[in-house]
């Protein structure tokens, strides 16, 4: 009875905490202007199914893809067991589904145990790879400090959660079923020697504590997620739903500029009287970006595939597309936290330098590389628009090229009249 | 185009030459190769000549939406004025802008990259490729970002090169994973930011590592960058950087 009350109280606290964090996240996303991406809905659902649910862009790195798939499938399927844990916890029952499911229950548990074991193996491999083998993208200055710790925390929590399940099963079998007709489950059965010589009460206490550890661990993880890069496990889905579906080479046209130019070129042009002029051209801060940009930033799990494909980053430039996403997210957090920095600082200069913005070749390699269709280039281009259209702060050589386009219709200083000269040459 | 219009004639396609193709010596060779191939195939084509103007691509990618739209709206007025339906561009940046960005501003045309257009001419039997002169050569193709990743066209240039009777090789990073030459996003008009290498040197090195005799490209800016890259590695006498159109025109003795 008491344990049921404690259970319900913990569950309620966990869910409340998570809800509050999600609300905070929504406030963060609401800082952005609308993305205008509610069109082409069937295409959006199918993209989400293919890219997020189906892991469609993980292919280029098959080993990482296979291990990621194990952890992903493990996470989704093993969590079915949480349903039983919750019902057991509330009702004070033990393995509520065992009797009604009969043999199927053993089948399911065997399946979960094997999957759980594979998850542990994958997480250990991920840890060793990250901390010891270190592919450059995982051992990169972008991740110094908290981001690297965050990654390690996530892997350790997953290992602990899965281990708790397996240890609980093993201790319980040792206590109740040794010498009985019941066959042990596949993985916990192998762990029985760990408990040789334990008393029945010790086994029972251990199994109970593992049960609680698993349950509290899940709640803690749930509340850790929204503060972590690992929230991608949820945000991946809406993020991919809001993917850019227009051609990859297309930068959206600014309507206010079109209106301005049409009024200049055509005296008979009547601008829409209801059109609201933009507060600012391009993006100086997160408020100027659109919803999908900020959703991208929170969905980024900092894998660094973008940065490892970026030609600027590969040649030692400061630009790292992953850092563009991390900086955007951290700036939203700064705004949400309030305080002095929220008003006095901005995404430009305080989080992302001009040097980084001007190093982009707009080659789309980062966009191609991202398994979640995150688009760092979009943010870079909007920030360049701010620099050029609000501050006239392009590099001088770029200003020369733009001056040439204005004066002689080519970025180079050749007269337009000579455009056809090649015909005679 | 103006002359044709004055005579009341129309052309099958407008050949969009672009700034590099009009003014840069290395890119002009590509322009001429495309024109010769179109002539050989009996395609009636027109150029805008002195009426052609920058599509606005570098301005837009540098963040100058105003200048981009000035260019685009003026170009669209000219193109629509001549009732242009079909455009072939010998530059993936012009191609991308005309194809993907002009429709939003009222300019909708059927736009081809020259590799796509020439491939279509082969398919229709209007053009044939005599492969002989490239026999035994090793050719590697460098994907332009604005043809490949931005527009998903990886096969047309390769299908053309396959006609040359040469050995076609791939770089370790190609197609979707191809490394940029370093020119895009207005980079070619500015100094690179501080780093430890030049992008075009790295890409040229990857191309040279295949042992290619010819690095084939489909973009005038890639051509400039990789030519410089090959020179940087001291291979200018041995390895040529050629646009696909130049290669096909050479094969056809044009």
Q: Which residues of chain A make contact with B229, given a CB cutoff of 8 A?
A: none
**Cα angle: A148, vertex A288, A377; to 5 degrees:** 55
- Region B43-68 average pLDDT: 97
Count CB atoms within 10 A of the CB of residue B133: 14
pLDDT tens column, A108-137: 999 999 999 999 999 999 999 999 987 899
Q: Give dist(CA A408, CA A419) in Å, integer.
A: 10
What's the pLDDT at A273? 83
> What is the average pLDDT value for chain B, to the nearest integer?
96
Of the pLDDT bands very low, low, confident and very high (cuts 50, 70, 90), residue A340 is: confident
The B214-217 sheet, strands edge to edge: B167-169, B138-141, B214-217, B240-243
Percent of chain B past pLDDT 90, that is, above it, reads: 94
Asked if B165 and B135 touch (Cβ cutoff 8 Å), the reply is yes
Size of interface A-B (CB pairs under 8 A): 218
Per-residue pLDDT, A253: 95
What pLDDT score does B132 carry? 78
User: What is the rounded average pLDDT of the residues B27-35?
Assistant: 98
- Assess whether pLDDT exceeds 80 at residue A179: no
Structure tokens at B25: 């010596």
Q: How far is A396 from chain B (nearest CA, A)?
A: 8
For residue A276, name the pLDDT band (cuts at 50, 70, 90): confident
**C-alpha to C-alpha distance for B248 and B138, rounded to whole angstroms:** 15
In B118-201 the beta strands, taken as DSSP E runs, fall at 138-141, 167-169
Q: What is the dihedral of CA B93, A395, A376, A250, to 10 degrees?
A: -30
Mean per-residue pLDDT, B207-224: 98
Q: What's the average model confidence in pLDDT over A307-328? A: 98
Averaged pLDDT score across all residues of chain A: 94
Q: For residue A417, what pLDDT band results from cuts at 50, 70 and 90? A: very high
From A52, A364, A380, A320, select the one nearest B175 (Cα to Cα). Answer: A364
pLDDT tier at A391 (50, 70, 90 boundaries)?
Answer: very high
- Structural domains in chain B plus CATH codes: 2-121 (3.40.50.1860), 129-251 (3.40.50)
**Any A CB within 8 A of B191 CB:** yes
Kindly state the average pLDDT of the residues B196-219.
Answer: 98
Which of A398, A413, A418 should one mutate to test binding to chain B, selecting the residue with the greatest count of B CBs within 10 A?
A398
Question: What is the per-residue pLDDT for B84?
Answer: 97
pLDDT (tens digit per residue) in B240-253: 999 999 999 999 99
At B216, which helix (H) or strand (E)?
A: strand B214-217
The 10s digit of each residue's pLDDT in A130-160 is 999 878 999 999 999 999 999 999 999 999 9
Q: Is B146 on the interface with A (CB under 8 A)?
A: yes
CA atoms within 13 Å, Cβ hemisphere of B72: 32
Condensed to tens digits (0 to 9), the pLDDT of residues A15-43 reads 999 999 999 999 999 999 999 999 999 99
pLDDT at A190 over 80: yes
Query: Distance (Å) from the C-alpha of residue A268 to the closest C-alpha of chain B?
Result: 15
Give CA–CA dist B203/B220, Å, rounded. 15
Chain A CB contacts of B184 under 8 Å are 361-363
B163 pLDDT band (50/70/90 cuts)?
Answer: very high
Q: What is the model's pLDDT at position B157?
A: 98
Task: Retrieve residue B139's tokens.
Answer: 């050719």
On the question of pLDDT at A182 being above 90, the answer is no
Residue A224 confidence (pLDDT) above 90: yes
pLDDT at A277: 78
Q: Tell which residue, A287, A361, A390, A367, has the closest CA to residue B62.
A: A361
Partner residue opposite A361 with nearest CB, options B52, B97, B180? B180
Separation of alpha carbons B151 and B249, rounded Å: 25
Q: Which of A423, A317, A132 is nearest to B36 (CA)?
A: A423
Residues in chain B: 254
SS3 B110: strand
Q: Which residue has the tokens 């993985």?
A: A187
Q: Give per-residue pLDDT as tens, B120-144.
A: 999 999 999 987 789 999 999 999 9
Beta carbons of B226 and B250 less than 8 angstroms apart = no
Element (H, E) at B241: strand B240-243
Residues 6+ apart with CB under 8 A from A291: A29, A32, A33, A34, A35, A37, A242
pLDDT band at B6 (very low <50, low <70, confident <90, very high): confident
Whether A416 sits inside 8 A of B53 (CB atoms) is yes
């Amino acid at each position: 009875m008491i344990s049921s009350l404690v259970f319900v109280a913990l569950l309620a606290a966990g869910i409340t905490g998570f809800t509050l964090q999600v609300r905070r996240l929504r406030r963060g996303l609401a800082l952005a202007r609308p993305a205008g991406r509610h069109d082409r809905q069937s295409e959006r659902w199918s993209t989400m199914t293919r890219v997020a649910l189906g892991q469609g862009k993980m292919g280029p790195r098959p080993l990482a893809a296979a291990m990621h798939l194990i952890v992903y499938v493990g996470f989704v399927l093993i969590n079915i067991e949480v349903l039983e844990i919750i019902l057991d916890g509330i009702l004070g029952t033990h393995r509520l589904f065992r009797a009604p499911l009969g043999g199927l229950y053993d089948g399911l548990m065997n399946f979960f145990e094997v999957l759980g074991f594979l998850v542990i193996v994958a997480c250990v491999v991920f840890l060793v790879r990250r901390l010891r083998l270190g592919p450059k993208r995982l051992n990169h200055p972008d991740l110094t400090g908290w981001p690297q710790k965050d990654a390690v925390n996530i892997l350790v929590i997953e290992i602990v959660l899965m281990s708790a399940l397996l240890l609980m099963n093993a201790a319980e079998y040792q206590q109740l079923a040794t010498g009985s007709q019941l066959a042990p489950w596949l993985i916990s059965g192998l762990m029985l020697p760990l408990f040789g010589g334990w008393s029945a009460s010790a086994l029972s206490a251990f199994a109970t504590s593992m049960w609680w550890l698993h349950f509290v661990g899940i709640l803690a993880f749930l509340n850790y997620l929204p503060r972590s890069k690992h929230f991608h496990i949820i945000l991946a889905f809406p993020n991919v739903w809001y993917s850019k579906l227009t051609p990859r080479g297309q930068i959206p046209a600014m309507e206010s500029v079109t209106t301005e130019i049409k009024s200049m070129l055509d005296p008979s042009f009547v601008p829409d009287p209801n059109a609201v002029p933009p507060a600012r051209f391009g993006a100086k801060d997160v408020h100027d970006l659109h919803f999908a940009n900020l959703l991208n930033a929170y969905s980024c799990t900092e894998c660094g595939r973008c940065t490892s494909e970026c030609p600027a980053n590969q040649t030692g430039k400061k630009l790292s597309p992953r850092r563009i996403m991390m900086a955007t997210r951290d700036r939203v957090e700064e705004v949400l936290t309030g305080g002095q920095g929220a008003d006095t600082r901005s995404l430009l200069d305080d989080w992302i330098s001009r040097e980084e913005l001007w190093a982009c070749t707009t080659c789309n390699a980062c966009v191609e590389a991202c398994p979640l269709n995150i688009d760092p280039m979009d943010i870079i281009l909007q920030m360049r628009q701010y620099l050029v259209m609000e501050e006239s702060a392009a590099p001088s050589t770029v200003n020369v090229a733009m001056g040439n386009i204005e004066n002689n219709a080519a970025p180079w200083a050749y007269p337009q009249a000579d455009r056809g000269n090649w015909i005679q040459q | 185009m103006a002359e044709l219009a004055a005579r009341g004639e129309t052309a099958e396609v407008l050949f969009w030459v672009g700034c590099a193709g009009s003014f840069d010596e290395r890119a002009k060779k590509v322009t001429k190769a495309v024109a010769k191939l179109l002539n050989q195939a009996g395609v009636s084509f027109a150029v805008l000549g002195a009426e052609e103007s920058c599509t606005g691509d570098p301005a837009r990618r540098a963040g100058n939406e105003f200048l981009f739209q000035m260019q685009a709206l003026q170009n669209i007025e000219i193109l629509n004025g001549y009732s242009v339906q079909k455009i072939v561009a010998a530059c993936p940046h012009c191609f991308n802008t005309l194809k993907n960005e002009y429709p939003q501003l009222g300019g909708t045309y059927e736009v081809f990259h020259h590799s796509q257009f020439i491939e279509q001419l082969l398919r229709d039997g209007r053009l044939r490729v005599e492969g002989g002169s490239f026999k035994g050569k090793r050719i590697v193709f460098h994907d332009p970002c604005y043809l490949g990743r931005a527009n998903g066209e990886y096969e047309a240039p390769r299908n053309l090169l396959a006609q040359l009777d040469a050995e076609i090789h791939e770089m370790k990073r190609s197609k979707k994973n191809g490394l940029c030459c370093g020119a895009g996003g207005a980079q070619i008009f500015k100094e690179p930011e501080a780093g430890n290498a030049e992008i075009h040197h790295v890409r040229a090195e990857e191309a040279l590592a295949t042992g290619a005799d010819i690095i084939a490209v489909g973009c005038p800016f890639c051509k400039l960058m990789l030519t410089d890259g090959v020179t940087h590695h001291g291979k200018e006498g041995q390895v040529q950087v050629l646009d696909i159109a130049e290669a096909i025109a050479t094969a056809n003795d044009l």
